[in-house]
Amino acid sequence: MATMLRDAEHIETVTVTIEPSVPDCDDDHSEHEWEDDGREGFGAVVTGHGGCVVLQHRCTHCGIVRITDTWAQRRDTGEQGLESVRYTSVEVG
């Protein structure tokens, strides 16, 4: 998120981190258990793009997928080198 502060001399843009809400796990488990041992159907799926990796971890309880991009880019400014995290019900890519 960018905030622009204006005065007679300059404009300042500030980038802040906003963590996404983590979806609830199923009724029998209070927390997700992210699998990263590489077993077929589970584990971290690792893909690369440019200078980073995109990690996909699946919860062994409810199956939700956490996707972490270690070199994300701000769409409005083009700033690179950010980290993004999102959650989905299916693996991507």
For the chain, the domain total comes to: 1
Full-model pTM: 0.68
Percent of the chain with pLDDT over 90: 9
Q: Is residue 5 part of a domain?
A: no
- Confidence category of residue 32, pLDDT binned at 50, 70, 90: very high
Give me the pLDDT at residue 7, please.
Answer: 58
Q: Is residue 48 part of a domain?
A: yes
Q: Is residue 63 part of a domain?
A: yes
- Confidence category of residue 48, pLDDT binned at 50, 70, 90: low
Name the range with the highest mean pLDDT among 3-17, 30-44, 47-61. 47-61
What region does 8 belong to: left with phi over 0, alpha with psi -120 to 50, or beta?
alpha
Higher pLDDT, 47 or 34: 34
CA dist 29 and 4 (Å) reads: 42
Residues forming beta bridges with residue 43, ordered by sequence position: none
Q: Is residue 13 part of a domain?
A: no
Q: Is residue 40 part of a domain?
A: yes
DSSP alpha helix (H) spans, 9-93: none
* Cβ atoms of residues 36 and 60 within 8 Å: no
| Residue 64, both tokens | 């939700």
Domain that includes residue 39, residue range: 24-88
